[in-house]
Amino acid sequence: MSESLEMITTSSDEGTLPLPEPLCREIYDKMLTIRRFEEAVLDIYTQGLMRGLAHLYIGQEASAVGICSALNDDDYLTSTHRGHGHLIAKGGKVDRMMAEMMGKVDGYNRGKGGTMHIADMSLGILGANGIVGGGMGMATGAALSGKMRGSGQVAVCFFGDGAINQGAFLESANLASIWSLPVLFVCENNHYGEYTAASDVTAVREHVAERAAGFDMPAVVVDGNDAVAVHQTAVEMVQRARTGEGPCLIENKTYRYRGHHVGDGDPEKTYRTQEETDTWLAKDPIPRFARRMLKAGMMDEAELESIDTTITKRVEDAVAFANESPYPEAGEVTDHVYA
Amino acid sequence: MSTPERVITYGEAVREAIAEEMRRDETVFFMGEDVAAAGGVFKVTVGLLDEFGEDRVRDTPISEAGIMGAGVGAALTGMRPIVEIMFGDFITIAMDQIVNQAAKMCYMTGGQASCALTVRTTIGAGRSSAAQHSQSLQAWLSHIPGVKVAIPSTPADLKGLLKTAIRDDNPTVIYEDKMMYGLKGPVPDDDDYTIPFGVADIKREGSDVTLVATSSMVHTALKAAGMLEKEGVSAEVVDPRTLSPLDMDTIIRSVEKTSRAVVVDEAYQSYGVTGELASRIADEAFDYLDAPVKRVGAMDVPVPFSPGLEPETIPDEAKLVRTVQGLFHDVAV
Ligand SMILES: Cc1ncc(C[n+]2csc(CCOP(=O)(O)OP(=O)(O)O)c2C)c(N)n1
Ligand SMILES: [Mg+2]
């Protein structure tokens, strides 16, 4: 095996926090914002204020934030049906996101897209996606475009363990590799696609990332609940991509604490065990990161609490903003079919 | 002697049809994403895994092109696969295997090959599922020679047509409206009950106007017919039940009686089922018509998420009533 094909498995030393304090604060803020945002989505959905399907990102926050904290504002990302976390991590505004959840005119997409299609082109967010694997080609193309324009931009393609079995992955990874495109394929392996265990439907020895070898690209398997490890991996891979060394496959091992979508029953009663969920709950990325900040003396308990209060208020304001925003006028229905 | 009936849901009709055909013929098997252990995202295939086991009821990876291809290959070599594509929107990923492979094998091989593949998939908006989970793409495969297409509107039609599809030696596609899985209706209590493809059904008799309606739009048309009756207009509702083959005879006979026709289908209106049906009626029933054939379909826009916009785009009974009124008095529609 050549060096580039080697698979690296990584996590960081819990006793340390080798990142600058402002960055740590930002990572913590973003992760907690995602958590509180998703809890609010659960709440409005349960109250009947939101329709469609709500796929919550709770438990996976370190993946989105660890990756996006290594990006520039003008870098691109493609997201998935479970996209709220990616959007917030890349700078998405919670009030406009919440308005979109409710189909309101002040939402990012003027209510036309909803939870599965939020995009903010000004932040390089090319969109969440209702099609599993739908972002793979697009991220590859955004990287191609960046390369052709000589802009130095990179693209991140977030997708799940289920999406790696789409043919689109093979085609996109191969293209990205032969053309040395600056794209990071980030597989968020939360171990299930809907109600099916990844291990039942995915032919790999142990890690999804093994597949990178077939495309002559490096692979890193990361403790996806360790924001530091994810961030450090991303920094290295983004640097590689920007300097023309091509794509990579990062596998963030993580877990979704909720069901596939809100209202689809209790996973622990059907396709997964309480014991398994409990092991992952013990690795909750947010308290884990908080402990490290406390230990490093970057924060104290009182400040952790006041940050939570601030974020909770911001999310409450977002819900109020969304509630007050009207539905789009009926006449808007025919707008935007064409550019 | 009439067969006794039972009342079941549209979803139960799916399960019963698959189970009965799997009992009857051991070459029938069923595969799709989350269809086995979870019983499908719409829970309509719960219990099949328990009865038939993992070999014949298979959970697949999320690989629409791959599983459709596997269905085609298995069908070419002696099996009768039923492949589920969870949302009809995702069938786009598997199109090559249906359109270029399955549909053409018999013809291209000069009749050597047959492909007894059954595809089940869903259509229909109305749940704020947005643009990639709400489309009604039935026209796409109806356009393809070599594929048979059913679009049932009731539990009885679904059960009878799905059973026929499974027994058919050709590629067949069943479009199920995802909003109708809970709809109840009587079904003949007979394991051997089937409905042939190419036979339309008159869902309501009438004498003044023919409403040709598909899938969920049959129910919209029935509601419109009720409203029209109060205005003294007697509407007949004809459900083609299969788009390919298409029973034009029943439709033409109805128009011969009523002299007016409106076609309604939930898909985008342009280049779709309504266009095909309206043109065939205009052509084949020209001598009987007292008014132009009208059609009502979804707006030609991606289905919007917002509850404030989505209903605008889907045909409803009010729009249908206005369209019919326009055939009688010069009402602008
Ligand atoms: C092409 C396509 N097939 C199937 C689906 C239905 N579906 C939505 S999410 C999902 C599971 C995805 O699993 P994974 O990629 O692991 O992402 P996760 O939900 O775990 O974040 C499936 C099968 C879809 N949206 N698109
Ligand atoms: Mg998953």
Q: Provide the domain count of chain B.
A: 2
| φ, ψ of residue B295 in degrees (nearest 5) | -135, 150
Does the residue B193 lie in any domain?
A: no
CATH number for B48? 3.40.50.970
- The two three-digit tokens of residue A129, written as one number: 């996606």
Q: Which of A34, A57, A58, A81 to mutate to test the pocket of ligand 1 (most atoms within 8 A of CB)?
A: A81
The answer, yes or no, to whether any atom of ligand 1 lies below 6 A from the CB of A284, is no
Tokens of B196: 């042939």
Q: Distance between CA atoms of A246 and A336, rounded to whole angstroms? A: 35
Ligand 1 centre distance from Cα of residue A136 (Å): 13
Residue A6 confidence (pLDDT): 60
Q: Of B156, B188, B220, which residue constitutes the final position of a domain?
A: B188
CB of A192 sitting under 6 A from ligand 1: yes
- Model pLDDT, residue B1: 58
Residue A231 has pLDDT above 90, yes or no: yes
Least trusted range by pLDDT, from A223-227, A303-307, B155-159, B326-330: B326-330
Q: How many CB pairs under 8 A join A and B?
A: 122
Distance CA B268, CA B136 (A): 8
Burial of B300 (0-12, 13-18, 19+ CB in 10 A): middle
Question: What domain range includes position B10?
Answer: 5-188
Distance, CA of A137 to CA of B228 (rounded, Å): 51
For residues B164 and B72, membership in a common domain is answered with yes
**Looking at the predicted structure, is the pLDDT value of residue A103 above 70?**
yes
- pLDDT for B329 equals 76
Contact B197, B150 (CB under 8 A): yes
B181 and B223 fall within a common domain: no
| Contact residues for B153 (Cβ-Cβ < 8 A; gap 6+) | B177, B180, B203, B213, B214, B215, B216, B217, B218, B219, B239, B241
Q: What is the pLDDT of residue A3?
A: 43
Ligand 2 centroid to residue B285 C-alpha, Å: 54
Q: Of the candidates A166, A194, A330, which has its C-beta nearest B34's C-beta? A: A194
Q: Tell me: do B76 and B149 sit in the same domain.
A: yes
Q: What is the pLDDT of residues A35-93, one digit of tens each?
A: 999 999 999 999 999 999 999 999 999 999 999 999 999 999 999 999 999 999 999 99
DSSP state of A191: S
**Distance in Å, CA A194 to ligand 2 centroid:** 7
Alpha helices (H) in B114-191, listed in sequence order:
138-142, 155-167
Averaged pLDDT, B291-304:
98
Q: Are residues B182 and B237 in the same domain?
A: no
Closest chain A CA to residue B58: A201
pLDDT of residue B3: 84
Inter-CA distances, B274 with B121, B283, B297, Å: 20, 14, 7
Residue A197: which H helix or E strand, with range?
strand A196-197
Task: Give the model's pLDDT for residue A8.
Answer: 81
Q: State the catalytic residue, choosing from B21, B33, B84, B133.
A: B133
Percent of chain B at pLDDT > 70 equals 98
Taking contacts as CB-CB distances below 8 angstroms, the residues of chain B near A204 are none
Q: Which of A131, A328, A334 sits opposite B308 (nearest CB)?
A: A328
Strands A196-197, A192-193: pairing kind: antiparallel
Quick check: CB of B93 below 6 Å from ligand 1? yes
Taking alpha carbons only, the member of B227, B256, B251 closest to residue B237 is B251
CB contacts of A330 in chain B (<8 Å) are 308-309, 312
* Domain A3-321, CATH among 3.40.50.970, 3.50.50.60, 3.40.718.10, 1.10.10.10: 3.40.50.970
Whether B313 has a pLDDT exceeding 50, the answer reads yes
Q: Are A7 and A283 in contact (CB under 8 A)?
A: no
| Active-site residue flag, B26 | no
Residue of B268, B305, B316 best to disrupt the A interface, most CBs of A under 10 A: B305
Inside any domain, residue B274: yes
- Helix H or strand E encompassing A320: helix A301-324
Confirm whether B121 is domain-assigned.
yes
**Catalytic residue flag (residue B54):** no
Mind telling me how many Å the CA of B7 is from chain A's nearest CA? 27
Residue A2 has pLDDT above 50, yes or no: no
pLDDT at B332 over 90: no
Question: Does any ligand 1 atom lie closer than 6 A to the CB of residue A64?
Answer: no
Distances in Å between the Cα of B279 and the Cα atoms of B210, B245, B262 are 15, 16, 11
User: What ligand 1 atom has the least distance to the C-alpha of B93?
Assistant: 1
Query: In this structure, is residue B17 part of a structural domain?
Result: yes
Question: pLDDT (tens digit, 9 = 90+) per residue, A164-178?
Answer: 999 999 999 999 999
Q: Is A196 close to B304, i.e. CB distance below 8 A?
A: no
Give the model's pLDDT for residue B2.
Answer: 75
pLDDT of amino acid B162 = 98
Neighbour tally for B330: CB within 10 Å: 7
Helix (H) or strand (E) holding A252: strand A248-253
Contact A261, A54 (CB under 8 A): yes
Q: What is the mean pLDDT of chain B?
A: 97
**pLDDT tens digits, one per residue of A16-33:** 999 999 999 999 999 999
- The model scores a pTM over 0.90: yes
Pairing of strands B80-85, B209-213: unpaired
Q: Which residues of B touch A196 (CB under 8 A)?
A: 33-34, 37-38, 59
Of all ligands present, the nearest one to the C-alpha of B62 is: 1
> Tens of pLDDT along B98-155?
999 999 999 999 999 999 999 999 999 999 999 999 999 999 999 999 999 999 999 9
- Ligand nearest A195 Cα, by number? 1
What is the CA angle A51-A54-A55, rounded to 5? 165
Cβ within 8 Å, pair A166-B93: yes
Residues of chain A that touch chain B, judged by Cβ-Cβ distance less than 8 Å: 51-53, 103-104, 109, 111-117, 129-134, 162-163, 165-167, 193-196, 200-202, 270-271, 326-328, 330, 332-334, 337
CATH number at residue B282: 3.40.50.920
Q: Is the CB of A211 under 6 A from ligand 1?
A: no
Kindly give the pairing relationship between strand B5-9 and strand B209-213.
unpaired
CA dihedral for B84, B90, B94, B98, sign (positive or negative): positive
Residue among B164, B62, B160, B150 at smallest CA distance from B116: B164
Q: Which one of B134, B165, B188 terminates a domain? A: B188
Q: Which mutation among A80, A169, A194, A256 tests ligand 1's pocket best, with the greatest number of atoms within 8 A of CB?
A: A194
* End position of a domain, from candidates B188, B221, B246: B188
Structural tokens at position A116: 């599965």
User: Residues B81, B148: one domain?
Assistant: yes
pLDDT of residue B260 exceeding 60, the answer is: yes
Q: Are residues B279 and B324 in the same domain?
A: yes
B107 and B221: one domain?
A: no
Q: Do B130 and A195 touch (CB under 8 A)?
A: no
pLDDT at B330: 58
Q: B233 and B136, same structural domain?
A: no
**d(Cα B135, Cα B121) in Å, to the nearest integer?**
11
> Cα of B279 to ligand 2 centre, how many Å?
47
The reply to whether B110 falls in a domain is yes
Is B82 found in the same domain as B179?
yes
Q: Return d(Cα B92, Cα B104) in angstroms, integer.
A: 18
B28 in the same domain as B161: yes
> B12, B64, B266, B276: which is the annotated catalytic residue?
B64
Same domain as B259, residue B121:
no
- For B64-81, how does the pLDDT look when each residue is reduced to its tens digit (9 = 90+)? 999 999 999 999 999 999
| One domain for residues B301 and B211 | yes
Give pLDDT tens digits for A104-142: 999 999 999 999 999 999 999 999 999 999 999 999 999
Query: Does A5 have pLDDT greater than 50?
Result: no
> How far is A339 from B127, CA to CA, in rounded Å?
27
Nearest CA to ligand 1 atom 25: A131
CA Rg value for chain B: 20
CA of B75 to the centre of ligand 2 (A): 31
Distance from CA of A162 to the nearest CA of B (A): 6
Interior/surface letters A317-327, b for 16+ CB within 10 angstroms, e for the rest:
ebbebbeebeb
Tens of pLDDT along B10-55? 999 999 999 999 999 999 999 999 999 999 999 999 999 999 999 9
Maximum Cα–Cα distance for chain A, whole Å? 60
Considering only the C-alpha atoms of chain B, give the largest distance between any 2 of them, rounded to a whole number of Å: 61
For A211-220, how does the pLDDT look when each residue is reduced to its tens digit (9 = 90+)? 999 999 999 9
Residue B100 CA to its chain's centroid (Å): 22
Other beta carbons within 10 angstroms of residue B95's beta carbon come to 17
